[in-house]
């Protein structure tokens, strides 16, 4: 029994997590994001990973793959009825350095804690370029499920 108590005392603190998987597959892009919120009063975002695959569009086109990670989080919010994740990162899309901002903003579907529906917005612009005309913006619907 003593070795078990010593093992438990030396183990790192583990936190209960609420994990969510969000997905989009529309004409503009494929998006797959998994995030874990620590259970507690402020529900801090503890884990984030994902990938965005851009599809050719009309007018301005954007193709490529972007990976999203915990270091990219600008802000996040989770409460009993909604969830929001905002990221900002730099990436090489089509071998060109770009700045990418992604926002997922969702609400519970009909009071079901396991399903969230909402919108995504992604803005991509050349790195160092602040002129809005140089950016490409995509918006659409996102669906998230509690794992």
Domain layout of the chain by residue ranges: 16-146
pLDDT of residue 96: 67
pLDDT of residue 4: 42
pLDDT of residue 27: 86
For 141, the 3-state DSSP assignment is strand
pLDDT of residue 124: 86
pLDDT, one tens digit for every residue, the chain (147 residues): 544 444 444 444 455 678 999 999 998 889 999 999 998 778 889 999 999 988 776 456 667 788 899 999 999 999 889 999 999 988 765 556 788 899 999 999 988 989 999 999 999 888 888 888 888 888 999 999 998
β-bridge partners, 141 = 119
CATH 1.20.1070 applies to domain 16-146: no
Among candidate residues 126, 117, 59, the one with its CA nearest the CA of residue 91: 126
- CA separation for the pair 68, 112 (Å, rounded): 27
DSSP readout, 65-130? EEEEEGGGEEEEEE-SSEEEEEEEEEEEETTEEEEEEEEEEEEEETTEEEEEEEEEEEEEEETT--
Q: What is the pTM of this model?
A: 0.81
pLDDT of residue 35: 95
pLDDT of residue 92: 64
Residue 5 neighbours by CB distance under 10 Å: 9
pLDDT of residue 45: 92
pLDDT of residue 57: 60
């Amino acid at each position: 029994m003593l070795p078990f108590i010593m093992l438990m005392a030396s183990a790192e603190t583990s936190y209960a997590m609420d994990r969510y998987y969000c997905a989009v597959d529309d004409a503009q892009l494929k998006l797959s994001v998994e995030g874990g919120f620590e259970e507690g009063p402020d529900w801090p975002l503890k884990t984030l990973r994902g990938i965005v695959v851009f599809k050719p569009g009309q007018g301005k086109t954007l193709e490529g793959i972007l990976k999203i990670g915990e270091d990219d989080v600008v802000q996040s919010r989770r409460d009993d009825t909604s969830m929001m994740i905002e990221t900002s990162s730099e990436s090489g899309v089509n071998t060109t350095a770009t700045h990418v901002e992604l926002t997922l903003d969702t609400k519970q579907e009909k009071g079901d804690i396991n399903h969230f529906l909402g919108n995504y917005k992604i803005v991509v612009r050349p790195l160092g370029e602040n002129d809005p005309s140089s950016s490409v913006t995509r918006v659409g619907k996102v669906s998230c499920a509690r794992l």
